[in-house]
Structure 1
Amino acid sequence: MLVGAGATLAVASMARAGDALELTGRFQQGGHIIGRTWAGAHIFVDEEALTTASANGLFIVGLDREAKASVRIEARDGARYASRALAVQPGSFPSSRIDGLPPSTVEPSDPALLALIQQQIVLKAEGFASRFDADFFSDGFDWPLERFRVSSAWGSQRILNGTAARPHFGIDLAAPQGTVIRAPARGLVTLAQPGMHFEGGLVLIDHGQGLITAYLHQSEISVTAGDTVRTGDTIGRVGMTGRATGPHLCWRMKWRDRNLDPSLMVRTA
């Protein structure tokens, strides 16, 4: 499937609880909820305090691949309280098979390599731990490539060299080597690291409140950690570094410990 930057997705859902709690987003597994409420209000998800509304009253909540059939969102601000229960639609997650990968990228066993992988796990954890005080996610997202083919869907069950692996928490966008990758929304670069064993050239961007996008397998990185980027800024180029069998961008999104489908954040035209 060929996709252009102007491609549209389904219209977002909306729910209201008076004027105190407005919720929009994609209420499905892998989707998200964007809310507006009182500035600085504490946000509870199924009775668990998970985030805080910005100075503009905006917040985001992620719905991962295993999200339950319903979720309750609550905003609490002193004596003020608003709550809303939402139905969460199930996702459709096909299987995908990839053969011909180097064994060291599927089941590494060399002690030195395992030590390197552990060091890189720490680097990634630090990048994903960012909680940038912003609400840029509310502007919506563009596709990070102008032209591409979706070569692997988000959430698919991976079979690597014949062995079942964890689900694929990225959407793979196949494009020629060297294709420019652009920031799909404003944000703070929290990691810009070439040579990652699995991810190759890797960039992480925090778009506010810990909503972080990841860009894998880059042949060239054009940003450094600590940079702020605007929508459309060049962040790197498509490659096939790390665990990859052809040039593509693996685009990922994470909110706290929840993996999300970034394509569901793309603005509708």
Structure 2
Amino acid sequence: MEKPEGLSRRHLLALSGGACASAALPAFSQSKLDSDPPFGLTGRFVQGGYAVGKGTPGADIVVDGTSRGPVGPSGWFYTGFDRDAGPTCHITLKTDKDQQSAVVSVLPVTYDIQRVEGLPQDTVTPQDPALLERIKREAALKAEAFASRIDSDAYHRGFDWPLNKFVVSGHFGNQRVLNGTPASPHMGFDMAAPTGTPIHAPQDGLVVLAEPDLFYEGGLILIDHGQGLISMYLHQSELLAKKGQWVRQGQPIGRVGAKGRATGPHLCWRLKWSDRHMDPSLMVVNRTA
């Protein structure tokens, strides 16, 4: 069992209460860190990772200078570190009376280059006007779903694996070369399994998109777990959940397939927090699979 780590001295740069700016935050001693970590932060403090903490309900969450919405009624809040996150992340909680800030270090990750051959060429470099129009329509559907912000804190309990048995066939963040053409980094965690293998919701959430046959993603489901943390399940052969449905951890939501841009049956599992892409496997509490 490998659980999210608490904040250690290598991650914490500074913490302050009151109204002072983060650039002027004083450093704490080791004893202070051990007894009073900022916001009780836990998580995985690496590129593609995350932090979960507790603060004043309703406080504005400001991450790297951008407001990310309010702390939930229970006090939990989430912060994601992008695939290309810089070495530090500034987290501030603001209320009408005061603010508290922390600056944590985000450790770098070395990404491999992954070469994928045998894809239909129109999924790599689409040219047909009708196809480009379809891609545009589907992008609008996904953008609407990604704008979801439900009031839930299910994320703080961590995730389960969405498949009971699988082989890792692609790691998050790898630089992709598709049919010999350099492409954007791979923002998913690929899990190879036979067609029809049940896919389970890794944590409670609201299904905000359920489309059976998108051009790139094939069968696609998006689940909002709260505060804009949305998980994605690509290339499904069959959907078992519908848009607007609340799903519970462990509930079947679909089946593995090879629809869309895929060379074989697998689940491409993705995770996004607003405009930041994270590695969903880092959210798994039990990582022995």
**TM-score of the aligned structures, taking structure 1 as reference length:** 0.94
What pairs up with 1:13-162 in 2 under 5 angstroms?
13-14=6-7, 18=36, 21-162=39-180
In 2, Cα distance between equivalents of 1:19 and 1:122: 41
Bigger shift: residues 234-243 or 77-86: 77-86
Whether the aligned pair in 1 keeps the contact of 2:175 and 2:184 (CA below 8 Å) is yes
Write the letter of the residue equivalent to 2:83. R
Letter in 2 for 1:13: G
Measure how far apart 1:10 and its partner are.
Answer: 6.1
The number of residues matched between the two structures is: 262
Residue identity in the other structure for 1:153:
H
Instruction: For 2:227 and 2:177, locate their aligned partners in 1 and report how far apart those are by CA, in whole Å.
Output: 33
Larger Rg: 2
The answer to whether the Cα contact below 8 Å between 1:51 and 1:59 also exists between their aligned partners in 2 is no
Task: Choose from 2, 7, 12 the match for 2:5.
Answer: 12
Identify the residue that residue 239 of structure 2 maps to in structure 1.
221
| Structure 2, unaligned runs of 5 or more | 16-35
How high is the sequence identity, in percent, across the aligned residues? Answer: 50
Q: Distance in 1 between matches of 2:44 and 2:61?
A: 18
Alpha-carbon spacing, 1:268–1:12, altered in 2? closer, same or farther (3 Å): farther
* Structure ranking higher in strand proportion: 1
Matching of residue 193 in structure 1 with residue 211 in structure 2? yes
1:204 aligns to 2:222 (yes or no): yes
Aligned-residue offset at 1:11:
4.2
**AA aligned opposite 2:64:** D
Query: What is the Cα deviation at residue 21 of structure 1?
Result: 2.1
For 2:190, which of 151, 159, 172 is the aligned residue? Answer: 172
Deviation of 1:19 after TM superposition, in Å, equals 7.6
Report the AA paired with residue 48 of structure 2: G
> How far apart are the structure 2 equivalents of 1:223 and 1:156?
30
**Structure 1 contact 21–83 (Cα < 8 Å) conserved:** no
Deviation at 1:20, TM superposition (A): 6.9
In structure 2, distance between residues paired with 1:24 and 1:10:
9
Give the alignment's Cα RMSD to 1 decimal: 1.5
How far 1:82 moved relative to its partner?
1.4
Aligned twin of 1:3:
none
2:186 maps to a residue whose letter is H
Query: 2: distance between equivalents of 1:50 and 1:238?
Result: 33
Instruction: Provide runs of 4+ in structure 1 moved above 4 Å.
Output: 8-11, 15-20
Residue ranges of structure 1 left out of the alignment (5+ in a row): 1-7
Partner AA of 2:216 in structure 1: F
Give deviations 1:180-227, integer Å, cap 9, x for gaps: 000000000000001100000000000001100000000000111000
Q: Secondary structure at the match of 1:123?
A: helix
Shift of 1:24: 1.1
1:5 matched to which residue of 2? none
- Alpha-carbon distance in structure 1 between the residues aligned to 2:264 and 2:88: 39
Which is worse superposed, 127-136 or 15-24?
15-24
CA distance in 2, matches of 1:11, 1:72: 20
Q: In the superposition, relative to structure 1, how do residues 80 and 189 fare at CA in structure 2: closer, same or farther (>3 Å)? A: same
